[in-house]
Every structure is written in structure tokens, then in C-alpha cells.
Amino acid sequence: MVAIVDAWLTPFGKRKESLFDLAKESSLPLIRKFRDAIDFVIISNSYSGEFNGISGVNNLISTYLSLEDIPSIRVDNTSGSGGSAVLVAKSFLDSGMARAVLVIGVEKMSTMKTRDVTSVISSLLPPRERSVGISVPSLASLMTREYLDRYRARREAIAEVAVKNHRNGARNPFAHIRKEVTLSDVLSSPVVADPLTQYEFCPISDGSASLLLVRDEEALSFTGKPVYIKGMAMGSDSSHITDREDLLEMRSVKRAGELAMKFSGVERVDFAELHDMATILEIVEAEALGLLRKGEGWKYYLEGRTEVNGDMPINTSGGLNSKGHPIGASGVAQLVEAFHQIRGEAGERQVKDARTGLSLSMAGFGNSATVTVVGDEP
Amino acid sequence: MIVYVCNSCGKGYFEPRGICKCGSDSFREEERETKRLHCVKLLVPPAGFPEQVEFCLSSAGDTRVLELGGSRE
């Protein structure tokens, strides 16, 4: 088994610092404490070539951090890079290939205008589907229409996801958007892809997050409060949206969740960090993971049950929706939040008696998904 | 609407594949009528597209396809 023994992140947002300095900012506290123990570095990053004109980013970052004597690799799985990077780190530790792995997730996206960023990210779609002009956000709108129709859900319930996540983000000093919004603000903000509006999508953010992972039997020599990875699994689905028989099924998420929960031995987690690139995704993912009842997830938002003090707190960090979504950093940052929640260090966002949690790092539109279940005991 | 149909098992695809799920790598093109399921107006489309794009998820027989929205006239 593997444990997270330290974690840090940068404030997300439009940052003036370079990709390298963002990576430094999140990893420096870990390197200062554990430089001599680290024997592998994994960089979670997806678009350094497109956004920053940089290739070989793992070696460049490692050298910038004076870690050039330590082997490094880059893991790119688009928006799911962070979860994939942690899965690789866990595999290295489980196999004995490494004893202490530093995972740094980093992305600098604000170098481009919104439509250019959309174009870069939409390049994960296959050519014929892409030729129609679709983007990843617009697929979320398609999903919303199907969800509203099939379950007779109320439109405002979808928007309540953004209200809740902005409320949490306002209490997170590392969040990109630190202001609360009302239901009226969300519904009246500019439409991006009908019916979803600006506040219902994640912003374009720069940022970085870092984790140090070790084998569980060594964890207590690094910290008195390790957070254990109790179960972890990956699921996959077609990257062709037209091949999906049911847009609301999210097979990759369901499969990864079922396996991760089975491996963990945990029946029910105390909180979850999900991939809310768009509001509707949080609901559909929560249903696929069995956190909320299928077809009724929207009702939980009208009843406040996914709030920090609800019976199923979701995205206490503010989620991608408010905290921001620097692609390569997001999945790593979700586990930073889980690390702080389990250790009781989440401040105003602390979930009472949080002992187990789940994070979902998702690539594309559910093309692949990595679910990690963490807890305070091995 | 052109759909790519496997010559072995008959499964249709909107997006071309090199190998069918049945293992065959032989496909034919088939022209099919479409029926719209859901349409979305995208007001912030990727660079290189018009400022507003409407597209629809439609069915072409048993195959789901994407097509431009708006009037069919």
C-alpha cells in the first residue's frame, strides 16, 4: 500500500509566473523537507507544447529544481493527467522501483485566448466529430439536455452545483474564483453552450500541485499523519462520443469507482472531489460512482445535501468550477484537498469527522477516469 | 449522412475506425437519413469556427451521429 505524506499547491488563477516557477512554488516545501529521500519525479502536464512551446518538460522542471540526478517522466492524459500520474507513482512504489515519488502537476494556460485554449483542448476529440465545431464544454450541454429530459430534472438544480462550489471556493485561499454567486447570478451569466452558462464551467487557470508518496510501512518516518491510498483504479471508454450508447452512463467513471471502492474495502466515503469541468458532470459522475441515487442526483443539490455540512459533501475545495482547472495540476490538487480533509486541516471547509474520501480525475469527456479512495488508516 | 458500416458484423460508426469491435478491418460507406435527438448552440466555439455554432446529436438508424444544426431546408 502507498501513502501520501506531504502535499502542497499554488494559488490557482491567472499567474504571472512561468511554468517552471509554478512547479517550484508547489514542490519547494516538499523538496526542502525530503530532498534526500526522493528517488523518482513524475510531472503531470498535458499541454506544455501547445501553451508554452516546451517539450521534454519533466527534465526541464527537474533540472530547474536541481533534481536532475533523479529519474523523471511526464504523464499526459489530458484533464485526467493528475490521477494517471498518481497511479503511475503508486505502481512504481508497489513494484519496488521507487521508495519516494514526488508528483508535480502543473499547467500554464493563460498564455492563450479562450477560443484558442478551447481549440487546443478540443483536439482530444476525433476528427469527424470535431469538424462539426463541437468542444468539450458543448458536450456537457448535450449531456444537460439529455439529463433534464430523461429525469424531468429542474434546470436550477444543475446551476446549484455552481452556487455550492463557488461558496466552497470562496473559503479556499488557493481557489481561482473566490467569490460567492447566487442562483440568479449563475442563470443570468452569459450562455457558453446552451443551456449552460459561464459560471457553470471551470475557468482557464494556471497552477501547480505537488504530492510526496511513499510505501505505507515507511510513511510514519515522514509524517505523524499519513493519508493512505486504500484503493485506486482506472476505467476507460470510447473517445468517440457518437459511440456512447448512453451519454449519461459514464462507463469509465463507473468502472473505476467500482474497482477502487472494492480494493479499498470502504463502503461509503465521507467526501468526494469530482471532475466538475461543467456543473452537470458533477451530478452525473456522483451518480455513476454511487454517491447519489441514479436519476435523482439533482434533488440532492436542491436540498443542500452535497454542502460541506451535508450528508455527501462534494468538491469542498470549490472543485474545478471555482478552484480552477490547470489541466495537469487538477487531479493532483484534488488529492491535496483530500489530504488536508483527512488530516483535519481544511479550515472553514473541513468536513466533520472525515476519515475516508474519494477523488475522480477524468480525461476528456469520460474517455478515461482514475478513482482514488483515501483514508486515515492503511 | 455517411455512416461507416462493418462488412463483417454490420455495426455502424460515425467516426471511422481502423478495426471494428468484431475484429474486421473492412468497412463500407452507407448513406442514411438522420433523426435529431438533442441540439446545442455553442456561443464560444473553438478558434477557426464561426462565432456561433449549432450542432445536433442525431440517430442514423442504430448509429449516433453529429451534424450541424439549423434548418434542414
- Write the pLDDT tens digit of every residue in A279-323: 999 999 999 999 999 999 999 999 999 999 999 999 999 999 999
Nearest to B47 among A116, A128, A142 (CB): A116
Residues of A with CB under 8 A from a CB of B: 113-116, 118-119, 122, 126-130, 132-135, 137-138, 141-142, 145-146, 149, 190-194, 240-245, 247
> At A2, is the secondary structure helix, strand, or coil?
strand
With 70 as the cut, is the pLDDT of residue A129 above it? yes
CB contacts of A134 in chain B (<8 Å) are 42, 53, 55, 66
Beta-bridge partners for B3 = B30
Q: CA-CA distance, B9 to A361, in Å (whole number)?
A: 35
Tell me the C-alpha to C-alpha distance, in Å, between residue A197 and each of A12, A114, A140, A185, A281.
21, 15, 11, 10, 14
Across the range A233-238, mean pLDDT stands at 98
Nearest to A133 among B39, B53, B63 (CB): B53
Are B66 and A149 inside 8 Å of each other by CB?
A: no
Is the previous residue joined to A195 through a cis bond, with omega within 30 degrees of 0?
A: yes
Of A306, A355, A314, A359, nearest to A332 by C-alpha is: A359
Q: How confident is the model at residue A238, as a pLDDT?
A: 96
Are A242 and B42 inside 8 Å of each other by CB?
A: no
Are A192 and B13 inside 8 Å of each other by CB?
A: no
Nearest to B49 among A114, A133, A194 (CB): A133
> How many Å lie between the alpha carbon of A304 and the closest alpha carbon of chain B?
29
Q: How confident is the model at residue A26, as a pLDDT?
A: 98
Q: Is residue B32 part of a domain?
A: yes
CB contacts of A193 in chain B (<8 Å) are 40-44
pLDDT-based confidence at residue B70 (cuts at 50, 70, 90): confident
Q: How confident is the model at residue B47, as a pLDDT?
A: 87
What single-letter amino acid sits at A296? E
Q: What is the grid cell recorded at A106?
A: 502543473
Q: CA-CA distance, A366 to B33, in Å (whole number)?
A: 29
Q: CA-CA distance, A104 to A70, in Å (whole number)?
A: 14
Are B50 and A127 inside 8 Å of each other by CB?
A: no
Domains of chain A: 2-112+205-219 (3.40.47.10), 133-201+227-375 (3.40.47.10)
| Helices A279-288, A136-151: crossing angle, 10 deg rounding | 60
Beta-bridge partners for A191 = A197
Q: Is residue B73 part of a domain?
A: no
Q: How confident is the model at residue A313, as a pLDDT?
A: 98
Which of A51, A125, A128 is the best substitution to test chain B (most B C-beta atoms within 10 A)? A128
Beta-bridge partners for B6 = B27
Q: What is the pLDDT of residues B6-62, one digit of tens each?
A: 999 999 999 999 999 999 999 999 999 999 999 999 998 888 898 899 999 999 999
Nearest to B15 among A129, A137, A245 (CB): A129
CB contacts of A277 in chain B (<8 Å) are none
For chains A and B, count residue pairs whose Cβ atoms are closer than 8 Å. Answer: 99
Beta-bridge partners for A212 = A6, A102
Are B46 and A242 inside 8 Å of each other by CB?
A: no
Pick the residue from chain B with its C-alpha nearest to A122. B46
Q: What is the pLDDT of residues A240-255, one digit of tens each?
A: 999 998 999 999 999 9
pLDDT > 90: percent of chain A:
98
Across the range A192-197, mean pLDDT stands at 96
With 70 as the cut, is the pLDDT of residue B73 above it? no
CA A209, distance to chain mean position in Å, is 11
Q: How confident is the model at residue B72, as a pLDDT?
A: 61
Residue burial A126-155, b: 16+ Cβ < 10 Å; e: rest:
bebbbebbbbbbbbbbbbbbbbbeebebee
Across the range A324-347, mean pLDDT stands at 98
Least confident piece of the model among A15-24, A97-106, A268-277, B34-43: B34-43
Number of domains in chain B: 1
CB contacts of B41 in chain A (<8 Å) are 191, 193-194
CB contacts of B43 in chain A (<8 Å) are 190-194
Nearest to A118 among B16, B44, B68 (CB): B44
> How many Å lie between the alpha carbon of B8 and the closest alpha carbon of chain A?
18
Cβ-contact A338, A227 below 8 angstroms: yes
Q: Which residue range is the domain that position B59 belongs to?
A: 2-68
Q: What is the pLDDT of residues A73-105, one digit of tens each?
A: 999 999 999 999 999 999 999 999 999 999 999
Helices (H), chain A: 19-34, 48-52, 57-64, 81-95, 114-121, 127-130, 136-151, 155-170, 183-188, 216-219, 251-264, 279-288, 297-302, 319-323, 327-342
Are B67 and A132 inside 8 Å of each other by CB?
A: yes
Edge-to-edge strands of the sheet including B2-6?
Answer: B12-13, B2-6, B27-31
Cβ-contact A256, A117 below 8 angstroms: no
Q: Is residue B26 part of a domain?
A: yes
Are B42 and A115 inside 8 Å of each other by CB?
A: no
Q: Is residue B14 part of a domain?
A: yes
Edge-to-edge strands of the sheet including A196-197?
Answer: A196-197, A191-193, B35-42, B53-60, B63-68
Nearest to B42 among A113, A133, A242 (CB): A133
> How many Å lie between the alpha carbon of B4 and the closest alpha carbon of chain A?
12
